């Protein structure tokens, strides 16, 4: 799949800096996104966290502060679970379409 098609699938607007957070399940990706946004894990509009697998689809989280409006953070489901295998993870979630991951 071409990079532009992958960006369309995730609704990525290239005028923003789009950072994807990928890795194994239960390693703190959602908590890190919340921390970077200055939110506690249980705050309204925070990325969902739980003791079991919580993120099941790629989810975008924007900043509300004006100085960070051009940055978008994407929470990507963790790999190494029954739902999201490690094999093929990079291509399944089209990680190549993010600015960094």
pLDDT digit string (tens) for 41-88? 999 999 989 877 778 899 999 998 999 999 999 999 999 888 888 999
- Residue ranges of domains in the chain: 3-97
pLDDT digit string (tens) for 9-45? 888 999 999 999 999 988 999 999 999 999 999 999 9
Give the pLDDT score at 21: 95
Is beta strand 71-75 parallel, antiparallel or unpaired with respect to 59-62?
A: antiparallel
Contact in structure between 20 and 95 (CB atoms under 8 Å): yes
Q: What is the pTM of this model?
A: 0.88
DSSP string computed for 32-79 = HHHHHTT--TTSTTPPP--SS----S-EEEE--SGGGTTEEEEE-PPB
Q: What gap in Å lies between CA 83 and CA 69, rounded to an integer?
A: 33
Superfamily, domain 3-97: P-loop containing nucleotide triphosphate hydrolases (3.40.50.300)
Q: Which two tokens stand for residue 56?
A: 């099941």
């Amino acid at each position: 799949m071409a990079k532009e098609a992958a960006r369309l699938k995730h609704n990525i607007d290239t005028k923003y800096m789009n950072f994807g957070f990928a890795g194994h399940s239960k390693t703190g990706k959602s908590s890190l996104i919340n921390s970077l946004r200055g939110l506690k894990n249980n705050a309204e509009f925070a990325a969902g966290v739980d003791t079991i697998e919580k993120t099941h689809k790629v989810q975008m989280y924007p900043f509300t502060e004006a100085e960070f409006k051009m940055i978008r953070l994407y929470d990507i489901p963790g790999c190494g679970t029954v739902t999201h295998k490690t094999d093929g993870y990079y291509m399944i979630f089209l990680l190549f379409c993010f600015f960094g991951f």
